[in-house]
Structures are given as C-alpha cells and as structure tokens.
Structure 1
C-alpha cells in the first residue's frame, strides 16, 4: 500500500499556473477563484501571485462532500 506524499515547497508565492498544479485544479478555476475573492492574491507589477499560506488556508476551509 502506498501513501500520498506531501509535495515539498521551497517558495512563498505561486503563479496561477503553479497554484493550479499545487491544488490539482485547472488554471481557469484558479483565476475564477481569484476573481470571486475566494483565493486572495497580491499584485507584483502586472502579475498576480498567490501566497503559499493562502493556498493552504483555501484547502483547509474546504468542506468534505457528504452523500
């Protein structure tokens, strides 16, 4: 039996594309979450970056789906 491994992260901020990979979501979904205010981000010049702490907080607030 194998166990899921926690990815090793060596950075504090992610692009939307990298955040999508980290969350196992699509890039468009990450942009939609940012636009809706569900995933906070910071502007660095013209680009948006998402803090690792925000990604982890987003995952922590998700509720499991009950049948």
Structure 2
C-alpha cells in the first residue's frame, strides 16, 4: 500500500516490462534467486546480457513452465 492506503502493484507484475531482473524472474517462478541463476546457467531459463547486467525476457518464465509441463506430461 502507498501512503494513501491504495493497493500498489509490485514492479515485477508490470505487464509492460520487456526484461526482468533475475530476482523478478525468480519471484514470478516462486523460486529463490540462486535456483534461478542455476536454471540460467543450465540453459533452462533464457537470459541475455545487457552490458554487464543479466536480464530475463519477460516471457521466458512462462515458456520455462510450459516446457516443464509438456515434459512431465510426456513422461
């Protein structure tokens, strides 16, 4: 809530974002930051370098979940 008692939306829920920080992607996936970095290192979660920063495309968490769901259905 802001100072006026209005409910505010967390920044990582902003649908206009194109890139997320690793922490924002982790929150969307409801996993820890370290686990999120491990998924990135393993190539399971897409990310890109922006200068010296690591960013996750906003659609990558949903794509990761979709791939995991499809793999579990196939097993």
TM-score (normalizing by structure 2): 0.69
Which runs of no fewer than 5 residues in structure 1 stay unpaired? 1-6
TM-score (normalizing by structure 1): 0.76
Whichever structure has more helix as a proportion of its residues is 2
**Higher relative contact order (CA closer than 8 Å, sequence separation 6+):** 1
Which runs of no fewer than 5 residues in structure 2 stay unpaired? 1-12
Q: CA deviation at 1:10?
A: 2.5
Larger radius of gyration: 2
Runs (4+) off by over 2 Å? 7-10
